[in-house]
Amino acid sequence: MKFFEKLLIANRGEIAIRVMRACRELDIETVAIYSDADKNALHVKYADEAFHVGEAPPSRSYLNMERIIDIAKKSGAEAIHPGYGFLAENYRFAKLCQDESVTFVGPGWKTIKAMGSKIGSKQMMKDAGVPVLPGTDSGIKDIDVAKKVATEIGYPVIVKASAGGGGIGMQIVDNEQSLEEAVTASQRIAKSAFGDATVFIEKYLTQPRHIEFQVLADEHKNAVHLYDRECSIQRRHQKLIEEAPSPIMTDELRERMSQSALKVVEASDYSNAGSVEFLYSEGNYYFMEMNTRLQVEHTITEIITGVDLVKQQIAIAAGESLPFEQNDLSIRGHAIECRINAEDPLNNFAADPGKILRYRSPGGPGIRVDSGIHMGYTIPTNYDSMIAKLCAWDSTRTDAIMRMRRAISEYIVLGIRTTLPLHYAIMNNQQFIEGNTHTHFLQEEHILRTLERYKRDEETRMQTLAGSFDQGKKVAAITAAINMYLQQKKE
């Protein structure tokens, strides 16, 4: 079935290509948008049509809602897929699509708005019987009340922006003397980043695990979960490595957490793909937030379930019912995703954009690479530093780790610094191998002690493998010379 004739992807890079691949398999024409910085990007060449959306800064291009809607109408696109980031969780954009009679591939704008408020969604889940972390039930207006709540739940506490995401505005507080300053700083950052200075307090868990459940729901009140993902390895509250399923998951825990995830779906009147995120600590789990979009790490869920989440998103947006029930779904093997960022992990993960001089992605059994880069591509300074997602699957977690090590050892990216050495170090770390991870895992010294050595090893290996490119150039030059000689002889 062809759900739409033409679909616009309001995004860039690897996620734009990922959506286009699903559309191509569904026989749906695709429309790309691009900024000045992306005029030669791969997603622009891959699409059936491409339109210039604005200057390089996101505010003048990929966040320009009116311009994107104009392009959709001009191109004849009936639907818009937002990918992730940019406008994916902007309820105003989803509403604008609805007002302009363009289908938004995602949940309804009212749901996005409700779940976009950490305070509001937390109260909604509390009312629905989903476990939540103790803390303030509303935005902080009186610092004395905040101090009272913090004392009752016990330090440390964390101050969060209600409208925030990506760890922006978070402040960890160990004592009452630091609370007022932290609240003020968080409010200032939240106002600047999100236009909303509302912040709240929660109990801070010192070494929790970050576990999320993928859900799908249609407009006919059918809903399923597609099992769990472990997302505990993070830097600056942003994920670096994910795996599915979680290595600590038991049948009993999965049943409890999945039922809570489905309660979230029901309470929020959710439709389309989403992820319910929990913090887990000492046998207890707590609702953290719901991501009302496709996740970066959707890849590993697709690998272990065999379900194409992007195709399901498009079908649901077209009004179709889910083609399966919960009993039809199962877990097959284990999958790991490494986010390859253009960053220097030995320099506090400083971004390192620039031109890629040599590039070759890994392959072989059980390997998937989602990327929008290639040799000679210059990574812009204006956007997120993630350049590729490397996924490895095998029948067991141990085998998946071994396969990921092999894949990393094949990956060649020269000209920029990347997180590849860090990923290799983690895949060889005994604590990770045993599944003993938490959200502050990267702050522990046992990772950094080995990173310098792995970085040197990785650079040497890449240079050795990259020698094949130079040999290839010599062969190509000789072949071209022979062909020219033969052509001259013929003439």
Residues with active-site annotation: 293
d(CA 23, CA 4): 9
